[in-house]
Structure 1
């Protein structure tokens, strides 16, 4: 469903009025995202391929942010996988579906800083990976591959992996928002399944992220 672009009021946001600063900022954010959604939709209809970005969000709120963006007409995606199985009183309880990488939502939007800045105003959103001026981009093909592998069970928690990692190992992240980046292992994993915490160097800083062991290759 395509949303109508809301007109923005031109008065300074710090002025006193019937609504407060938070409400005015919400309207500005919504206006930017509405405009970005319409322009991106037109780009797709006309044969263009808008890039994807990774929006960092509160852990546990990934699907809520995805729904908020979809309701605004912005294409978004949280690739899912089966989480860990639990054993209780001799029974195995199958794992529930969880995000492949906690704390991130993939968003397709034209790469204009004002549109990307608008994403940060969405409830439970934190920031755009790489920043709004030079964000880290993913292509349609990369996102489709990542989602296809996730849906096929490649990143399920209980799926056996081919590697064992120790703290300090250098690894390559093969797919997803951190695809083709090198990282340093923070927590060891000798189980050949499950997750591992790695530290990724990006924008001059270190970003800790928990990823499936199956998403890594040894360097």
Structure 2
């Protein structure tokens, strides 16, 4: 007697179910992200506000490009740096504030959900009392810098040290009080700082000392 062996083909049920779940979540995220699109902000521009996203370090340009592809107004402050490798000078853009990216949208639960769920986005800067709103003039200043204008010339306090408390007076984080966690003295002195947003800590690795004023 010859026994016949049946062979099952196709994807495992668990994997198929997971794929369907991920596809459903992707479609929900895309639908929510449309609430943050420029199509919505253009209908009610007076209601639109700038917010700050916390993104994976090294993925700032990717997030900016993918949000723009989704018709979301995104802007990453950047600076041009010159590096010397193997005796040759090369220029490249780097994030002014690594791990942070600015977006403009009309505030709504759907828009915030879509932004938080977007690929490589970790969170929106804010806390239980709401998300941090960035003033239009601070965004405009960085846009001018990215277009080639000189950064504002502000005297730098050279007495800053680790543990100092300071007020941030320029840039997208203006208005916050921070704690200096490290100082890097170079041509444009910068500091690592920690801010508290409604009870939640956020670390900023590259804050120009010229943007700080001792409390």
TM-score per shorter chain, which class?
0.7 to 0.9
Pick one of 116, 123, 128 that aligns with 1:127.
Answer: 123
When you count strand as a share of all residues, which structure comes out higher? 2
For structure 2, the residue ranges without an aligned partner over 5 or more in a row are: 1-15
Aligned position for 1:63: 61
C-alpha displacement of 1:153: 3.9
Aligned position for 2:13: none
Aligned position for 1:73: 71
Aligned position for 2:183: 188
Aligned position for 2:43: 42
Pick one of 162, 166, 174 that aligns with 1:167.
Answer: 162
CA deviation profile, 1:12-64 (whole Å, cap 9, x unmatched): xxxx86942222111101001113313222113xxx24101001101111111
Aligned position for 1:3: none
Q: How large is the Cα RMSD of the aligned pairs? A: 2.7
C-alpha displacement of 1:160: 9.4
Range with greater deviation from structure 2 (108-117 or 18-27): 18-27
Q: How high is the TM-score relative to the length of structure 2?
A: 0.78
Change (3 A) 1:87 1:34: closer
C-alpha displacement of 1:213: 2.5
CA deviation profile, 1:119-162 (whole Å, cap 9, x unmatched): 0111111111104871111232331123324542428xxx9962
Pick one of 106, 131, 144 that aligns with 1:148.
Answer: 144
Looking at structure 2, the residues matched to 190 and 86 of structure 1 have their Cα atoms a distance apart, in angstroms, of 18
Preserved CA contact (<8 Å) 1:116 1:132? no
Change (3 A) 1:189 1:218: farther
The question of 1:207 aligning with 2:202 is answered yes
Preserved CA contact (<8 Å) 1:113 1:133? no
Range with greater deviation from structure 2 (182-191 or 74-83): 182-191
Q: How high is the TM-score relative to the length of structure 1?
A: 0.77
How many residues were matched structurally? Answer: 196
